[in-house]
């Protein structure tokens, strides 16, 4: 599982720990701990396709959730689960850790096929965010990718992959391991495993999210 870390002690420390990760700014702190299987919101040929957040959990509750397979025109999410738990580290001191994770199977995006684009599939995936007193770290894993031609063997965080038709026209972008740190940095982190955004060339407007989590340092 690919790991990304953030600390609560300022932007410099976070940058050193993250190495080559460059996260876009966020303007509010992340929640204590949440995770979701995914969602979709796009319009194609005048038809709106909407899949609200699936299987969302939060450390404040519900601490576990699941979603059955959901199919809409152009997109399918397989069954998924999520858990957001809190564990006591030191009862006397009142310190805890949180773990927020989601996993799923059999994702398919077929919306681009009619535009001479690929059918995109992900067989299985998992995303995790852990909060401790000193900071946070997030990780993700993915398997059974099909249709994402030309991916590197090792996918770095915030990697943007162009999804094209046969003549090279970019129909959508797929961002793997999309990482967001708040500004100013408070040690929290948000991670989206796969974020697909359609371009104007696809004649589709909107986005699809697969596997998302966020967490903050514990008190």
For 74-126, write each residue's pLDDT tens digit.
999 999 999 999 999 888 888 899 999 999 999 999 999 999 999 999 999 99
Instruction: Find out whether 42 and 205 touch, Cβ atoms under 8 Å.
Output: yes
Q: Which of 23, 153, 172 is nearest to 161 (CA)?
A: 172
Count of domains for the chain = 1
Environment class of 69 (CB within 10 Å of its CB; exposed 0-12, middle 13-18, buried 19+): middle
The CA distance from 112 to 128, in Å, is 29
The CA distance from 116 to 145, in Å, is 19
pLDDT band at 3 (very low <50, low <70, confident <90, very high): low
pLDDT average, residue stretch 123-148:
93
Q: Which domain holds residue 53?
A: 2-215
Q: Name the pTM for this structure.
A: 0.86
The CA distance from 7 to 16, in Å, is 10
In the structure encoding, which two tokens stand for residue 186, read together? Answer: 């408070």
For the chain, the maximum distance between any two Cα atoms, rounded to a whole number of angstroms, is 64
Instruction: Find out whether 192 and 115 touch, Cβ atoms under 8 Å.
Output: no
For 14-73, write each residue's pLDDT tens digit.
222 232 232 333 333 789 999 999 999 999 999 999 999 999 999 999 999 999 999 999
State the pLDDT at residue 24. 32
Q: Which of 27, 91, 55 is nearest to 212 (CA)?
A: 55
Burial 87-98 (b: 16+ CB within 10 A, else e): eeeeeeeeebbb
């Amino acid at each position: 599982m690919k790991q990304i870390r953030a600390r609560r002690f300022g932007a410099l420390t976070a940058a050193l720990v993250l190495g080559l990760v460059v996260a876009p700014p966020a303007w509010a702190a992340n929640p204590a701990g949440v995770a979701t299987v995914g969602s979709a919101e796009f319009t194609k040929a005048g038809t709106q396709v909407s899949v609200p957040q699936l299987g969302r959990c939060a450390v404040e509750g519900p601490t576990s959730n699941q979603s059955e397979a959901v199919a809409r025109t152009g997109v399918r999410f397989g069954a998924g689960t999520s858990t957001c738990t809190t564990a006591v580290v030191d009862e006397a001191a009142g310190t805890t850790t949180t773990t927020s994770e989601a996993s799923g199977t059999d994702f398919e995006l077929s919306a681009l096929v009619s535009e001479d684009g690929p059918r995109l599939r992900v067989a299985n995936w998992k995303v995790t965010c852990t909060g401790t007193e000193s900071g946070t770290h997030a990780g993700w894993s993915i398997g059974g990718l099909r249709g994402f031609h030309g991916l590197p063997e090792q996918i770095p965080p915030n990697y943007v992959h162009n999804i094209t038709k046969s003549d090279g026209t970019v129909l959508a972008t797929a961002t793997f391991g999309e990482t967001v740190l708040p500004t100013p940095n408070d040690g929290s982190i948000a991670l989206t495993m796969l974020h697909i955004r359609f371009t104007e060339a696809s004649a589709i407007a909107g986005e699809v999210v697969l596997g998302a989590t966020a967490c903050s340092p514990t008190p």
